[in-house]
Structure 1
């Protein structure tokens, strides 16, 4: 197939906008672009005039496929539009020029949700989608279009040094009665911006899924894919001017600098060709659609073979690939070629690249949905590796029972046992965790991240400011328990090399509506519970990340305790239980009507005292039938052990005021002042309720910077103040700790995952304020950022879907 015929097909299949560049814009004097009847004539080399220098020009072509706009959680209805621009990172070489737009599926222009068509702005060289109207949450707008940007490379040395910034802007305007002025109102200023960086390595060849998620106030998902390659732009002639740094070869026809530039161009095109061939083969195999490219160099185009090198220096080692092609990555080969052969190699490899790129674009259009699914799955797998920069994975053993250990030490070793226990916790664990995170943050600041994948500038823009997550997977250690067969040993034996392998629910959890059939839908429900004086949307960022990971999950943002969190935990728990049961029944009835319901996965997420409320709700009799369906429990800074050993004097003063002057019942319960006998207090009794043992996965999120919730209380572990405290207070604390850990070690679930995750935020930008002094900044940061949730959820996807 000739290039001319291929060009005609492009014009039939979609709009083709050629980016023309005038000779003046090339910044090269005396440039005379070649012209001819068609593009192939332009590519043919001419070597008749030894005083004319043949110049090679290449360009990066970056194609962005925009599949759909999915509204996760936009606050405002109205008209929205996506605007896309490309530029060099250094900003010295101009902007990317939209060269081609292909509409894969025709939009419904008669719909009230889309008006107008896409457009290209010649002022800033941007591309904009048609304006579309957002009416409700979880709304999809199908865009299905590919826009290709061309970025000429005037400085070939920049091939391996410069990166490209891909910029998405979200434009917004309210609903207007006059639809004709919508576009004018959209052009004012962007509501949100999201940028990505394409590293130099990626510009030679890249085919990746690139989801666009703007920010916390504009929670949308734009499904996009980025495809990049290096293409030959053209070859032109220019008069040769001999300068002081010119090495005359006897004819005055070439300089060392020009030849080095030519070699760079040939090597770069050769690398891009090899990458594109490999990517095409990978895509073809992944989606099980054949694509024949193995003989393209022989059947479609002419290629230089080893015989062509016989005209070069005979002393040059003859290097070739198994298929007979010249290995253009070899410096010795390229330096040995005379100028006419080097130009011929550039022409031929460039034609091959043009042919392969055209083949890919056609292949992508025919198989776009399967390619999108494959790239999306590949992206999800790669997240754990990329985000491991900010995550530290460790394994720790489950401790012995604290009360029995304390008794044994006291009886057998006397004061010596107490001294050994104190020695283990001489330093504050919160301070040690903060120091560990800070050292890791400093190492990241000195790190040079040189990857080939697209880099999200929300994360890679300033890597040292991203939260550090230290993940501790708690594994089994021998304990004095009623059960001699621990589930931890089974998990370790089954999953020695994976941190996130979680099995499906046990067959005993199968609902009666499905009988013994294994086919049917799994109804997944997640309940979010806010904290003290909170709002039902406090955890919306965590919910949105969960929704991105598993769009089929049903979510309940609990509202029954809004403005009622000052009362008794028992009453709050009862209200929550009734709300959950009503929601689950409604979703079960709906799922049963639409098909067979196999089982339920009921998960809970709590923030602050919301964790105490939800654990209390699980003790309600109304929840008993649903306990066997509990799946994942995510505790976000929950005071599970109360404030018995709280070291934050400022915060303790605030709690005293709430108890003294406002009579806040839940604060009395959290500080164990609701009864004179500690063993009759609410939290002590709650620790004996078997609430945690029903979950298959338990993740405790804490932060050493959080002064609102004691560090040990959020992690359900001992603290320095409790060690060696033989008073009634110390013994009651350790008994509560043992009660909770026994539930986690209970063999009720064969494959339970228990993790503690320390989240260390960068709060240095907040300066010295009351929030940072009292520790509120980190406590609220859990609600105002979602990067930590993104890291954890995409690193352990089986726990959340």
Structure 2
């Protein structure tokens, strides 16, 4: 049942699915010999390495791969055709057990089992597996997509031998599927990272390479018009000759022409991709002889046409090729099936043979080229994949720009000034609309439009997102611009990010004193030390933000991260105490990493970023206000606030949540709740939050991203966004004035001192709440607040859509 294969590099296992037609009841004299042609999709998957980010269990793991047509959910149709092991693993290693295998019962391929012992462990697999998909079920080009299924198999670490293999075969820990659209089946070379799920955080570095190839040609009797493409080998006989029964061969003839067009498109795509990849890695391939002969396919003038795309049957390309070769041969194009019906079958037969041989030749050239330059090709494909993320994920992201107000949000001290402020605000804001409700409706309208989309492109589609696109979170992204510096050339969010290419922070004038205080040995061309600190919320755990951390590690594996533990089980106390503990923890961690880098004399710059959830953001701002953090403020880079109550709970419309806060203050004596609700001092101007907003805690960050959700009932919408509150705009009392003053102070910190030296984004994350059901968590708004910790899709969107903010 299983075919075990050795570790010989380059060992091939071929499985051909062609069948010869035989029928004992058919008299030999009645059989007309015809040439049967089968095309086959070859989908090659290169698995470079398995990188463990955050698997919770040690043990034996294995990757299992199968393929199927999308319209055939239960049957694996992809047949493993060849396996090439690029590098021979250390058979004697305790971390690798056995060999890869092919299971003929379900047409699956499984890598060798490998043992995972610790986080961020790399396992080199370096294997290429090719699957063949017969197209016999389709009368022309395939109309169904192909689903590639990766399974993560698990077995306890104590098992060995046959027990280990039996356990691996029966225990699928996680699944990740990809969809290859019909358009991509003509040819594709793409990076394909496999992440599995939040509970099995790994990265499988893989790439997919697809081409349409010619299958076997063999003699067989013509039995049904629905058979795959048939061409009688009769010299100079036309397709519409007298030997055909009326209407019987027309369908087969049309399929033959479609096959010619498909092979032409596959050849052109493969040639173009081969040239592009060779040029990208600076390893040009000499295809002079091939290009000079590839136009040997000649048709009568009636079959020629002007310019056409490769998908329309383009035989060759005029002008200078990507590899520098000049093409002067006149191009020939297929016009239509009808115009070719008069061609002799021997001509079409010869063309099919020639095209099939050309595609096979190029495919073998590519496989050899890939084997020699696999790592550089993978890096090239990964770079192209990263550049395409923002465009592909824009389906779920809505972009806009708003101006940051400043003058009309003055915190007036007398009635006249206050009424002036109110008049200005009411003239700009639609105060009859609840901002959170308006944002939720906007996202829901966009979600309904997604449900009506027909997504049909040539990109590999991650089924975590494309399986049901309407279930994926929708992000409303606002780039907040400083009004006096509005420009006319703002077509891109990041067009004016001069800070990305600006000199290092440590090279700024006056930074020498800070360098001496931190004991840093600065090197002009040294390593950039990137540190990200993650801070949990109320009664949280230090691993609460691990999903965001994992996505950041996938984006930039070189970061050093600190999952703050200093306030674990201590979030009920005073924010000042929590902030001091965090500051001490961060300083100790930064010094440790700086000392390690300085010992090698390689430290050139530091980028210190923070990510906070809920009141973790208040703890971060409090820590930054501590005097011991002052020498490190110059290193602050990116700040990501996830549902943080930056303006407290001075105005909160969630009555149920307010009742819970009242109970916590009444019976638990929770000091931080008093501070959040401005009841820690009778004079509101002496409260903790009022004074915190006066501290310059945000102005040192290069980039500020505020994530909020209108579905989150735990944190007021305006507080998470540092934005105007509808209730405060109508409040003429001292409370309203204090709120406006706090808001103004925070915006003054965020407002850049010079044009375009800070990026400020507000991102509304709108989760699909249809799966939540009706329960208390949904009713009080807790579900969305916790969803930020249980979902990583929003973090993936932000990181890859705005890479300049995180590098």
1:721 aligns to what SS in structure 2? Answer: helix
Mapping of residues 180-329 of structure 1, within 5 Å? 180-241=162-223, 249-252=241-244, 255-296=249-290, 298=292, 303-306=296-299, 309=300, 317=304, 322=318, 323-324=329-330, 326-328=332-334
- Report if aligned partners of 2:523, 2:602 keep a CA contact under 8 Å in 1: no
- Report if aligned partners of 2:522, 2:603 keep a CA contact under 8 Å in 1: no
1:740 alignment counterpart: 746
1:466 alignment counterpart: 472
Q: Give deviations 1:707-759, integer Å, cap 9, x for gaps.
A: 00000000001111001312111111111001100001141896111010000
Mapping of residues 89-238 of structure 1, within 5 Å? 89-91=70-72, 95-157=77-139, 159-176=141-158, 178-238=160-220
Gapped regions of structure 1 (runs ≥ 5): 1-10, 33-47, 479-487
2:16 alignment counterpart: 20
2:369 aligns to what SS in structure 1? Answer: helix
2:363 aligns to what SS in structure 1? Answer: helix
The 1-side partners of 2:451 and 2:363 are apart by 38
Q: Give deviations 1:417-453, integer Å, cap 9, x for gaps.
A: 3794486322100000000000000000000001101
The Cα of 1:22 is off from its aligned counterpart by 5.6
The Cα of 1:276 is off from its aligned counterpart by 0.3
1:587 alignment counterpart: 593
The Cα of 1:121 is off from its aligned counterpart by 0.4
Counterpart selection for 2:56 from 28, 52, 75: 75
- Report if aligned partners of 1:327, 1:333 keep a CA contact under 8 Å in 2: no
The Cα of 1:678 is off from its aligned counterpart by 0.5
- Tell me: CA distance 1:606–1:223, structure 2 relative to 1, closer, same or farther (3 Å): same
Q: Give deviations 1:162-204, integer Å, cap 9, x for gaps.
A: 1100000000111115455211211112000000000001111
- Report if aligned partners of 1:166, 1:196 keep a CA contact under 8 Å in 2: yes
The 2-side partners of 1:409 and 1:395 are apart by 33
1:363 alignment counterpart: 369
Q: Give deviations 1:397-436, integer Å, cap 9, x for gaps.
A: 0012455376799459779937944863221000000000
1:15 aligns to what SS in structure 2? Answer: coil
The 2-side partners of 1:598 and 1:122 are apart by 56
The 1-side partners of 2:582 and 2:419 are apart by 48
Counterpart selection for 2:398 from 392, 395, 402: 392
- Report if aligned partners of 1:277, 1:293 keep a CA contact under 8 Å in 2: no
- Report if aligned partners of 1:54, 1:237 keep a CA contact under 8 Å in 2: yes
- Tell me: CA distance 1:380–1:49, structure 2 relative to 1, closer, same or farther (3 Å): farther
The Cα of 1:763 is off from its aligned counterpart by 1.1
- Tell me: CA distance 1:329–1:604, structure 2 relative to 1, closer, same or farther (3 Å): farther
2:353 alignment counterpart: 347
- Tell me: CA distance 1:699–1:115, structure 2 relative to 1, closer, same or farther (3 Å): same
The 2-side partners of 1:800 and 1:407 are apart by 41
Counterpart selection for 1:51 from 5, 14, 32: 32
Tell whether 2:448 aligns with 1:442: yes
- Tell me: CA distance 1:305–1:782, structure 2 relative to 1, closer, same or farther (3 Å): same
The 2-side partners of 1:565 and 1:419 are apart by 37
The Cα of 1:23 is off from its aligned counterpart by 2.3
The 1-side partners of 2:240 and 2:760 are apart by 73
The Cα of 1:503 is off from its aligned counterpart by 1.5
Counterpart selection for 1:693 from 690, 699, 708: 699
2:727 aligns to what SS in structure 1? Answer: coil
- Report if aligned partners of 1:156, 1:261 keep a CA contact under 8 Å in 2: no
1:155 aligns to what SS in structure 2? Answer: coil
- Report if aligned partners of 2:304, 2:332 keep a CA contact under 8 Å in 1: no
- Tell me: CA distance 1:395–1:748, structure 2 relative to 1, closer, same or farther (3 Å): closer
1:249 aligns to what SS in structure 2? Answer: coil
The 1-side partners of 2:560 and 2:305 are apart by 64
1:594 aligns to what SS in structure 2? Answer: coil
- Tell me: CA distance 1:684–1:49, structure 2 relative to 1, closer, same or farther (3 Å): same
- Report if aligned partners of 2:636, 2:702 keep a CA contact under 8 Å in 1: yes
- Report if aligned partners of 1:698, 1:755 keep a CA contact under 8 Å in 2: yes
1:628 alignment counterpart: 634
The Cα of 1:800 is off from its aligned counterpart by 1.2
- Greater shift after overlay, 605-614 or 238-247? 238-247
- Report if aligned partners of 2:48, 2:125 keep a CA contact under 8 Å in 1: yes
- Greater shift after overlay, 193-202 or 740-749? 740-749
The Cα of 1:332 is off from its aligned counterpart by 5.6
The 2-side partners of 1:788 and 1:265 are apart by 43
The Cα of 1:509 is off from its aligned counterpart by 2.2
- Report if aligned partners of 2:305, 2:334 keep a CA contact under 8 Å in 1: no
- Greater shift after overlay, 440-449 or 329-338? 329-338
The TM-score normalised by the length of structure 2 is 0.89
2:477 aligns to what SS in structure 1? Answer: strand
The 1-side partners of 2:502 and 2:83 are apart by 47
- Report if aligned partners of 2:281, 2:380 keep a CA contact under 8 Å in 1: yes
Mapping of residues 730-769 of structure 1, within 5 Å? 730-747=736-753, 751-769=757-775
- Report if aligned partners of 1:51, 1:252 keep a CA contact under 8 Å in 2: no
Gapped regions of structure 2 (runs ≥ 5): 1-6, 231-238, 307-314, 319-328, 508-514
- Aligned-pair RMSD on alpha carbons? 3.0
Mapping of residues 504-583 of structure 1, within 5 Å? 504=501, 506-510=503-507, 511=515, 517-583=523-589
1:213 aligns to what SS in structure 2? Answer: strand
The TM-score normalised by the length of structure 1 is 0.89
The 2-side partners of 1:534 and 1:447 are apart by 39
The 2-side partners of 1:450 and 1:573 are apart by 50
Q: Give deviations 1:19-42, integer Å, cap 9, x for gaps.
A: 133627x8x97899xxxxxxxxxx
- Report if aligned partners of 2:646, 2:719 keep a CA contact under 8 Å in 1: yes
The Cα of 1:336 is off from its aligned counterpart by 4.1
The 2-side partners of 1:798 and 1:124 are apart by 45
The Cα of 1:495 is off from its aligned counterpart by 7.4
The 2-side partners of 1:454 and 1:702 are apart by 30
